[in-house]
A and B are shown apart, each in its own frame.
Chain A
Amino acid sequence: MTVVSIVDYGVGNLRSVINALEHIGAQAELVSDPVALRKSGKLLLPGVGSYRIAMEQFQASGLADTLMERVTQDQIPMLGICVGMQLMTEHGTEDGGAPGLGLVPGVIDKFDADTMKAKGLKVPHVGFNTVRPKSGSLLFKDLGDGIDVYFTHSFRLASTGDDHVGALCNYGVDFVAAVEHEHVVATQFHPEKSQANGLAILRNFMDNF
């Protein structure tokens, strides 16, 4: 297994994701400067909290441009988790809004309050829910067609390019639970908090990308 570099731009707790990667036998390292990022062979982009604030922090860290270069030119595999996935899209409307990295088509917007209320569903969407991977997915390889994983979020990617969908989830409406396009993958849910299912997904990222 190769080393996975966790892009550390100063947001949130990275302990859980490091623990999970080490548990499956992967070697995880934190990378917080562009020079180190140039040596990485595989990236994991975490993120929590507000899209705009996370994006500002990511830009300020000086890591965003290098990450884009490594992923688009060098084609190294990357996995975004939660707000890390959200930052990979074109735009996020949260908290005044901010442009994203544009690696994934689509916009991050809040679950529609009226629709959810009419269906008696609460926002944020918190807990284990079932995702439906696309056929032939490498991220969900050998995991079947309905996998339960842990979500905690209020904003979501409503839709993306057909060739970018990795998995869908239904919470009142369908939304994109995972992105999978060539070497670019991402999950709105938290694999590091999703018991054996999440560990298997992380293992697939390490083995198949």
Chain B
Amino acid sequence: MAATRPNRLFRNLTAKIAAIPMILTALVVFVGGTVWTVTYSFTSSKLLPKTKFVGLDQYERLWNTPRWLVSIENLLIYGICMMVLSLVIGFVLAALLDQKIRYENTFRTILLYPFALSFIVTGLVWQWLLNPDFGIQSVIQRLGWQSFDFDPLYNADIVIYGVLIAGLWQGSGLVMCLMLAGLRGIDQEIWKASRVDGIPAWKTYIFIVIPMMRPVFITTLVIIASGIVRLYDLIVAQTGGGPGIASDVPAKYVYDYMFQGQNLGQGFAASTMMLLAVLVIVVPWAYLEFGGKKRV
């Protein structure tokens, strides 16, 4: 019996051959690149990679650098706000669109359009809109409301929220679309049943519909989270990290030290910290989601 059964390795051979390029890419480019980066983060590499190991020096310097701490703080603020607000806004918009309104297609298109723009364009547009001399502030002041004061991009304390506005404007449309697809996947019978029972619509959403949309929420969360961690181009286009270093983010720190500062070791150390942060979040989640129990 065992002799006649084909070797497990050769089962589904064509599919496995087809997967080889991707497996190689994953191993060499992602895993290989990661290992290489982590290794060199323990060296004193400057402009060119060198194998002169200096232990944890780069990490020590990293955590004593105010700019790095500022960028971590910014990423946290941006990340938490972005996660919560884009989910809330996206879901509310989707729920509103789901009320069988007229011109739904038109609204959906309008709301999704910002997502078609790159972060660079988004950043520039909002840089202009938020410019105190000719943006929103000056328009409202010219309308007569002289005391109106809104220039987040030139105020170090709130600049990250200026960036957040642009990020939300760009990203909420996509979240809305995903949510709308999820809502459409809910069986209409559920709505009928809840109406028969006299449950108010908001309660149906929160206690019945949202729990049923769990897979959609998880997909959306992963998409938003990956967008948060790699936040870079929006900052570069909108604020350039300024004023001062007030809107810096880890990805920009990494780039600046690797290339402008000609200090690869420092950049590698910072990017390793970014990887660690992602792992700290992803590993427990992946364990809960895929590991342990074997669900049907």
Q: Do A and B come from one complex?
A: no
User: A: which residues have CB within 8 A of B?
Assistant: none
